[in-house]
């Protein structure tokens, strides 16, 4: 395999596109230029940092450090999921739900892949475990945060409808069911789009990376198929669990809707 | 739990020191077939009271239905026997019909003519019905679950006089069958027509019936 290596100048030329975006934001008053510049600087710093860490980690192969990095990745993704919704569940509910959901869904699917399809030796080889965890977490982050945000937003908007059903003797679970279904559906749309567009509208990132790195197309495609299956599984788990846990956190033992458990940001 | 029907001393509904940070303490009893009017200025805590009785808001104190404590019952079972109907009833599906489980539809449809509702509203688009039609349909929805106690918040606010009297007649037949009603109303005439007793709420608390209002 042979990859064409990039120089700093190559990257600088591409970076001029970000300046183009910023100029557009200024010209049309989008007020996005600051966020845009901060995000691109963050991106460069974060990626360079992780590049050096991975280079060192792959060379050392330490189990403890691998585990440590994975825990940090999970924590960062959970924080994003918890921060996304406009409403906050009291007593750090968003954080509790996000960390359970993100850790559960990502660890379960990555373990499945490492012990069945990929089977590196040793099974926890960081060269496989960490990139897999990364891509699964990205998908989990998307679906769980969309599902949680949709659920909490819709519940606060539909208070009268939900309480009208409660007042007629419906259980809270049944009164919340339409909103729960809608939130899980929304959480799964990105991964469904990703699968149906793969290969026709988009060449997925992993596959593109492997092709650029010189891998045989069929080999790259097989990897991509495996990954998309993993992503759909982990997204479904994450969206479903996030909504289920949130639906329990928004009620009490007398089947009441407790919007007072939500604090606006 | 068996209830002795001959034991006239057991009230249909009793509230003992019902209170929350927003209202109370409220204590009162209601016999089967009795209608109690809850009157008072806007914001005095009438709706908050009804919500506490229906167990929709957390509160302390005890509520008993035919002598059985609320805490002995599952909350959804309690609410299907003690139904709260807010002043602005909410709808969650496009047509009135879809708000009724199939087993209750026949009973509900039988109530339509008594409330001067045309048969076509049943499958109509709720968004196109008038406020008064929706308000009467809300009463149909509440009565369809056959509650033992009905907590009504301004059930005739959007109705003309004639329709209001029709609605009161429907309520009266249910009172005769033993249902108890707590009626929140701003209309002194309606309170006089419907209620055996009137209770005034001031700052979330009951003003004693004998006390002349200041």
pLDDT 10s digits, A113-158? 999 998 998 898 999 999 999 999 999 999 999 999 999 999 999 9
For residue A250, give the nearest of A265, A261, A239 by alpha carbon: A261
**Architecture of the structural domain at B13-90+146-206:** 3-Layer(aba) Sandwich (3.40)
Per-residue pLDDT at A4: 79
Angle at A159 between CA A158 and CA A165, to 5 degrees: 95
Q: B128 at the A interface (CB within 8 A)?
A: no
Pairwise CB contact (< 8 Å): A165 & B92: yes
Q: What is the mean pLDDT of residues A45-54?
A: 91
pLDDT digits (tens, 9 = 90+) for B167-214: 999 999 999 999 999 999 999 999 999 999 999 998 888 886 544 443
**Residue, of B7 and A32, whose pLDDT is higher:** A32
**How buried is residue A71: exposed, middle or buried, by Cβ count under 10 Å (0-12/13-18/19+)?**
exposed
Q: Tell me if chain B has a CB within 8 Å of the CB of A252.
A: yes
Report the pLDDT value the prediction gives residue B1, as an integer from 0 to 100: 45
Label the pairing between strands B197-202 and B35-39.
parallel
Residue closest to B174 by CA, chosen among B143, B152, B204, B198: B143
Mention every residue, 6+ apart, whose C-beta is less than 8 A from residue A55.
none
> Which secondary structure element, helix H or strand E, spans residue A87, and what is its range?
strand A87-89
Considering only CB atoms, A254 lies closest to which of B55, B81, B142, namely B55
Instruction: Judge whether B89 and B134 are in contact, CB under 8 Å.
Output: yes
Instruction: Select from A164, A256, A258 the Cβ nearest to the Cβ of B90.
Output: A164
Contact state of B83 with A170 under an 8 Å Cβ cutoff: no
Residues sharing a CB contact under 8 Å with residue A174, sequence separation 6 or more, in sequence order: A165
How much is the pLDDT for A31?
A: 85
Give the nearest partner residue to B79 out of A167, A257, A258, using CB atoms: A167
Token pair belonging to B114: 């008594």
Yes or no: say if A259 and A156 are a contact pair by the CB < 8 Å rule: yes
What are the φ and ψ backbone dihedral angles of B191, each rounded to 5 degrees? -60, -40
Give whole-number Cα distances, B142 to B33, B85, B102, B148, B171, in Å.
Answer: 17, 7, 15, 11, 11
Element spanning A88, H or E: strand A87-89
Which of B70, B76, B139 should be substituted to probe chain A, the one whose Cβ sees the most A Cβ atoms within 10 Å? B76
> pLDDT (tens digit, 9 = 90+) per residue, B52-95?
999 999 999 999 999 999 999 999 999 999 999 999 999 999 99
Chain B CB within 8 Å of residue A181 CB? no
CA distances (Å), A264 to each of A89, A142, B22, B83, in order? 9, 22, 21, 31
Tokens of A23: 């100029």
Q: Does A90 touch chain B (CB under 8 A)?
A: no
Residues in chain A within 8 Å Cβ distance of B126: none
CA gap A38, A47 in Å, rounded:
14
Per the listing, tokens 């990376």 go with: A209
Is the pTM of the predicted complex or chain greater than 0.90?
no
Contact, A159 vs A172, CB < 8 A?
no
Query: Where are the strands (E) in chain B, listed by range?
Result: 13-20, 23-30, 35-39, 60-65, 68-69, 82-85, 149-153, 180-184, 197-202, 205-207
Residue whose tokens read 């089947």: A255
CB contact under 8 A, B90 and A178: no
Tell me if chain B has a CB within 8 Å of the CB of A153. no
**Banded pLDDT at A198 (limits 50, 70, 90):** confident
> What tokens were used for B18?
């019902």
CB B92 to CB A170 under 8 A?
Answer: no
Give the DSSP per-residue string, B73-120.
S-HHHHHHHEEEE-SS----SSSSGGGS-GGGHHHHHHHHHHTT--GG
């Amino acid at each position: 395999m042979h990859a064409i290596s990039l120089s700093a100048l190559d990257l600088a030329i591409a970076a001029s596109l970000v300046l183009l975006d910023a100029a557009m934001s200024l010209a049309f008053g989008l007020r996005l230029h600051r966020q845009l510049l901060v995000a691109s600087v963050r991106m460069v710093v974060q990626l360079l940092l992780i590049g050096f860490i991975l280079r060192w980690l792959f060379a050392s192969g330490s189990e403890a450090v691998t585990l440590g990095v994975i825990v940090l990745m999970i924590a960062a993704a959970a924080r994003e999921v918890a921060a996304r919704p406009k409403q906050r569940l009291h007593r750090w509910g968003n954080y509790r739900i996000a960390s359970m959901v993100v850790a559960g869904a990502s660890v379960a699917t990555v373990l499945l892949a490492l012990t069945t399809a990929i089977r590196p030796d040793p099974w926890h080889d960081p060269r496989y475990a960490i990139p897999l965890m990364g891509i699964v977490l990205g998908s989990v982050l998307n679906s769980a945060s969309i599902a949680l945000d949709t659920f909490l937003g819709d519940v606060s908007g539909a208070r009268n409808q939900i309480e009208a059903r409660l007042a007629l003797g419906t259980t809270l679970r049944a009164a919340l069911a339409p909103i729960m279904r809608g939130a899980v559906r929304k959480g799964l749309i990105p991964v469904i789009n990703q699968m149906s567009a793969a290969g026709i509208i988009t060449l997925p990132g992993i596959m593109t990376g492997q092709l650029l790195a010189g891998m045989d197309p069929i080999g790259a495609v097989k990897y991509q198929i495996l990954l998309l299956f993993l992503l759909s599984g982990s997204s479904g788990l994450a969206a479903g669990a996030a909504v289920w846990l949130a639906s329990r956190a928004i009620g009490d033992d007398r089947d009441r809707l407790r919007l007072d458990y939500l604090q606006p940001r | 739990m068996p209830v002795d029907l001959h034991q006239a001393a057991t009230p249909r509904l009793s509230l003992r020191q019902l209170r929350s940070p927003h209202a109370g303490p409220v204590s009162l009893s209601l016999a089967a077939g009795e209608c109690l009017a809850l009157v008072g200025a806007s914001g005095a805590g009438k709706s908050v009271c009804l919500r506490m009785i229906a167990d929709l808001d957390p509160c302390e104190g005890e509520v008993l239905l035919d002598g059985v404590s609320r805490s002995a019952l599952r909350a959804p079972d309690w609410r299907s026997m003690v139904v709260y109907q807010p002043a602005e009833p909410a709808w969650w599906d496009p047509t009135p019909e879809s708000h009724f489980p199939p087993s209750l539809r026949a009973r509900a449809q039988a109530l339509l003519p008594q409330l001067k509702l045309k048969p076509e509203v049943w499958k109509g688009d709720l968004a196109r019905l008038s406020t008064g039609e929706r308000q009467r349909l809300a009463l149909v929805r509440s009565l369809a679950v056959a509650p033992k106690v009905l907590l009504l918040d301004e059930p005739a606010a959007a109705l003309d006089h004639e329709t209001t009297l029709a609605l009161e007649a429907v309520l009266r037949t249910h009172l005769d069958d033993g249902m108890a009603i707590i009626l929140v109303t701003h209309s002194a005439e309606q309170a006089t027509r419907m209620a055996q007793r009137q209770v005034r709420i001031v700052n979330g608390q009951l003003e004693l019936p004998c006390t002349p209002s200041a």
